[in-house]
Amino acid sequence: MASGITSVLSSRKMGILALVGSLTVGFFVNRKQYVRTGVHVRRIYSPSAEYPDLRTHNSFMASHLTLAVYAKLCDKSTPNGYTLDQAIQTGVDNPGHPSVMSVGMVAGDEESYEVFADIFNPVIRDRHNGYDPCTMKHSTDMDSSKIRGGQFDEKYVLSSRVRTGRSIRGLSLPPACTRAERREVERVVVDALGGLRGDLTGKYFSLTQLTDQEQQQLIDDHFLFNKPVSPLMICTRMARDWPDARGIWHNSEKTFLVWINEEDHTRVISMEKGGNMKRVFERFCSGLQEVERLVQEKGWEFMWNERLGYILTCPSNLGTGLRAGVHVTLPHLSKDSRFDKILDNLRLQKRGTGGEDTAFVRSTFDISNLDRLGQSEVQQVQTVIDGVNYLIECEKLLEKGQDIKIPAPISRFK
């Protein structure tokens, strides 16, 4: 009798396993199509009734979000529940500056770029100067030995820095993550960083354990991200639960740092005073590669695909996610009417030294690469090195009362 019962139970188990197996295979076979089409969201009102008023807005999102596109996407969500309205809310709430084109939208997870491709792809093409994610592939190259030059004149360059972002696959991005997901990001990354050795050995500091004075000092010294008061952080809901599961890790010299759970899951930064960009990039490459190895050892990986490169919250950071920048003093060139055109042709951008959307102080600028997608890390750092050297040469000529020239636009894709 017992053997008969066992036989029946075994048959049932086999049947259940077969059913589960077929369902699992079906899930993976259809996952791409499932993600691409999105999850249906029930809506009470018509798309035309819900369509946002973007007539006074200046952003890439506002330029491409027609009523037809909105109607096609507004009743979809990613498998994690992220919707089009959540993605565009920051661009709806912030019309932008008439002369500064903002992106106007963010991703809530890796799948956002697939489910809402009809709006993300044209935004990406415009922001990244023609890069077409439908037909082009992104290249990665972190061989720092290929860099030419890289030592700036320190009469002009005060500090050098290279940063990027990385996202943990399988966890929602900051605009959409739950408290548990955010804490999981912190746990995974801090656990991995604990394996760094040599001059990369460091310590993690949770914001919950730092006093306001300690945080402000780190911000003033350009080591820590600002407090979440910007429209981007607030309107995207990235500032929720602040400062829970946010923090900074750095080595003892504060030349290699990792931010956790600000705009992205992580920001990896190499920096130092002075003009040795080559050394900063060498440390960046070796440190980032070691961080990725340690993350993979823990059973995790970074979000990446061949079309978009590394996946990050803002479309502006897709690709390498890399921003190589210097704080450089240009009192003469900055007063020249050709300054902005020179920067455009060199594929460079300027910011205040306090970060994005901060004022310029005493003719000192944060100059960095404009492009992230379609060129490798080596190419982008070389663009900054060559471009900043050109700016310094212009400054020296103007100091002597001599004229300068606007350079020809550099090739976008090589």
Binding site as annotated, residues for ATP: 159-163, 222, 267, 323-327, 351-356
Task: Sort 301 into a burial class: Cβ within 10 Å, 0-12 / 13-18 / 19+.
Answer: middle
Residues within the annotated binding site?
159-163, 222, 267, 323-327, 351-356
Are 303 and 311 spatial neighbours (Cβ–Cβ below 8 Å)?
Answer: yes
Residue 402: exposure state from Cβ atoms within 10 A (0-12, 13-18, ≥19): exposed
Alpha-carbon distance of 162 to 146, in angstroms, equals 16
- Neighbour count for residue 102 (Cβ, 10 Å): 22
Measure the N-to-C terminal CA separation of the chain; round to a whole number of Å.
Answer: 76
**Cα distances (angstroms) measured from residue 86 to each of 124, 336, 411:** 18, 42, 36
Say if residues 373 and 103 touch (Cβ distance below 8 Å). no
Closest C-alpha among 73, 70, 122 to residue 92 = 70
Question: How many angstroms separate the CA atoms of 25 and 27, rounded?
Answer: 5
Residue 211 per-residue DSSP state:
-
Task: Tell me how crowded residue 19 is: count the other CB atoms within 10 A of its CB.
Answer: 10
Instruction: Give the separation between CA 150 and CA 384, rounded to whole angstroms.
Output: 9
